[in-house]
A and B are shown apart, each in its own frame.
Chain A
Amino acid sequence: MAGNSENLLSIRDLKVEYSSGGKIINAVNGVTLDLPKGGALGLVGETGAGKTTIAKAILQILPDHATRSVTGEIFFEDRDLLKTPEEELQKIRGGDISMVFQDPMTALNPIMTVGDQIAEGIHLHQNKTKTEARQEAIRMLETVGISADRVDEYPYQFSGGMKQRVVIAIALACAPQLLIADEPTTALDVTIQAQVLDLIRNLKESQDTSLILITHDLGVVAEICDHVAVIYAGEVVERGTLEEIFDHPTHPYTVGLFGAIPELHKKVDRLSPIAGLPPDPTDLPQGCYFAPRCPRATKACAEKHPSVKHLGGTHYALCDQI
């Protein structure tokens, strides 16, 4: 299947296996996703669900030594990234697709000024002289709300929120078509998180960048995304528009996630945790991966892997009980 023209990114049946200590880790198990041009897709899930692996597969930056196999298709416009040669990928990374990592404290080079770090990508990708790149870097710093006179400072001179702004400036410097942000605000305080989310939203609108936002925080998704995919044990268990997922969560795992978060505006006596733990990716259950924790699981669920159900519109869920 080729990518269609409305989608900037189309992932089809992506599977990623790692190997470690003689065991095979099934990190991503047949993920299918679409990101419309100009859209913002939230990938939601808990630690170890495979969210970051999906992002790294898109950019082809999976760790060589541990990656056993990557199969499926990842169409970016009309090109399958999994079949694109490395030299071309290098032009795409940081150019057409760029990524913001979770931890701003470690994502920056400590011995390079922030100005040089922003200018580096511009110089490499846009055929600009160093002077031009520096001018552009200064403009980017101002775009993310940092004054131009700090261009020659080093990362240690910035606070956490400011560092994340610098990382975002680097990622957006070449006006990418797609920005992948992996937990961009998880390490930040809420008032700073609000500033950074506001910044991403404004930049997305002014530069017409499409966005994949990886997070475990459903509140952050609601703030900024228009599409949502819920990831569990390396699979998309439910996907749809923000309204489809937040107004009509259907998969028992999605329902469970909403029940487990304390709500700011209403007080409940008791939270409803999801019983048990996510499955071991080296030893996935035979049937539905969520069945051992699912309140609605039947005997059949433990035996047969569920199929994807279309719930109307763009709403899909991976469950046989609905």
Chain B
Amino acid sequence: MALIEIEHLKKYFPSSRGTVHAVDDVTFNIEEGSTMGLVGESGCGKSTLGRTIIHLLESTDGVIRFNGEDVTHPSKHKLRELRENMQIIFQDPYSSLNPRMTVMDTIMEPLKLSKKFSKAELQKEADKMMDLAGIEKRLRMSYPHELDGGRRQRVGIARALALNPKFIVCDEPVSALDVSIQAQILNLLMDLQHERKLTYMFVTHDLSVVRHISSHICVMYLGQMVETSETDELFERPMHPYTKALLSAIPTTDIHNRTERILLKGEITSPINPKPGCRFAARCPYADEQCAQPVGLHEVTPGHFVSCCHVKEINDL
């Protein structure tokens, strides 16, 4: 069953130079207990999409359903309830914790706000969360500046999990960490998902990480989804020219099986007042006049959706 259903979601921002189409008509579902990996380069709208879904940002248009219920425009009361069920883990563990709150206070804050716990229960619940996230008890009264990045991220995770949410947006949760610590946090997130049947939306630019943790993947380019499918399918048979280039650009440690690199021309164009038609056309090696026509996602092979008018020729289908 789909826990999250997104239909034609849009998030526009006004700016002095025009309207920024940060998220532009995105549709997808996330199954309960699965992980949707959302990948794309900086500025493609992936963080905005994550934040819009959990109502940290108000959507411009479209529908958001949680557990089958339309929650696009929740009442104040409903929003409070949603916040208990939808949480976020932020990228930068150095700026997402209040520097003047101890580890214990930080984890207790959402518990206090829920008004569901007595004072004694608060302590117990927070202790339980610290155990769950692998934070040593001696750090209860420590401040964020006394902790390393990995431990700070564990505090962020404990805080997000405190009210036993169903859905968590993980916004680049390991990008600021060294590889040896990154592996600890990824393992923790996967264990927690298993134990608590969590549903994740994992936002990242790191495709190796996303392959490791996700069951499904969406690739975004300039506010739109260009390709989505089940993870192994996407990595083994990428069909959109952008996905192909993105995958080929990742440096791998396999020094004997180098794959041919597709070098893209230029850089991501501006999301301000974009023209209709394929947004990747300006950098695409296959682009022609036809690409000026609007395209949308269509199912090319079962469960594999691509937004490209040349997808058949490019992939010899």
Which residues of A are found within 8 Å of B152, using beta-carbon distances? none
Residue in contact with B255 in the complex, picked from A198, A222, A265, A267, CB distance below 8 Å: A222
Q: Is B57 an interface residue (CB 8 A)?
A: no
Q: Is A103 an interface residue (CB 8 A)?
A: no
Chain A, interface size: which category? 35 or more
User: Could you list 25 A-B pairs, sorted by A, with CB under 8 Å?
Assistant: A189-B41, A189-B42, A191-B245, A193-B251, A194-B248, A194-B251, A194-B261, A197-B251, A219-B252, A222-B253, A247-B255, A260-B179, A260-B180, A261-B179, A261-B183, A261-B208, A262-B209, A262-B211, A264-B235, A265-B235, A270-B190, A271-B183, A271-B187, A273-B181, A274-B180
> What's the dominant secondary structure at chain B's contact region?
helix
Q: Is the CB of A273 within 8 A of B178?
A: no
Bitwise, A283-305 to B at CB < 8 A (1) or not (0) is 00000000000000000000000
Q: Is the CB of A194 within 8 A of B267?
A: no
Q: B residues near A, CB below 8 A?
A: 41-42, 148, 150, 178-184, 186-187, 190, 205, 207-209, 211-213, 232, 235, 245-255, 257, 261, 263-264, 267-268
Q: Is the CB of B179 within 8 A of A46?
A: yes
> In the complex, A222→B261 CA distance in Å?
14
> In the complex, A161→B251 CA distance in Å?
17
Residue in contact with B178 in the complex, picked from A47, A220, A264, CB distance below 8 Å: A47
How far apart are B197's CB and chain A's nearest CB, in angstroms? 18
Given contacts A190-B205, A191-B246, A216-B178, 17 further A-B contacts (CB under 8 A): A190-B249, A194-B251, A195-B263, A198-B263, A222-B252, A223-B251, A242-B255, A246-B255, A256-B180, A265-B257, A267-B232, A270-B190, A273-B181, A273-B183, A273-B184, A273-B187, A277-B148
> In the complex, A291→B205 CA distance in Å?
34
Q: Is A203 an interface residue (CB 8 A)?
A: no
Which residues of A are found within 8 Å of B148, using beta-carbon distances? 277
Q: Is the CB of A222 within 8 A of B263?
A: no
Q: Is the CB of B267 within 8 A of A262?
A: no
Interface centre among A260, A264, A267, A268 (most CB of B within 10 A): A264
Q: Which 10 pairs across A and B sit closest by C-beta, in order of nearness?
A: A219-B251, A273-B183, A262-B212, A194-B249, A189-B41, A271-B183, A274-B180, A260-B183, A46-B178, A273-B184
Closest to B205 in A: A189
> What's the dominant secondary structure at chain A's contact region?
helix
Q: Is the CB of B253 within 8 A of A219?
A: yes
Closest to A263 in B: B208
List residues of A (181-217) whose CB comes within 8 Å of B's CBs: 189-195, 197-198, 216-217
Closest to B39 in A: A190
Residue in contact with A260 in the complex, picked from B182, B205, B213, B247, CB distance below 8 Å: B182
Q: Is the CB of B180 within 8 A of A190?
A: no
Residue in contact with B208 in the complex, picked from A47, A262, A273, CB distance below 8 Å: A262
> In the complex, A264→B235 CA distance in Å?
8
Closest to A220 in B: B251
Which residues of B are found within 8 Å of A217, using beta-carbon distances? 251
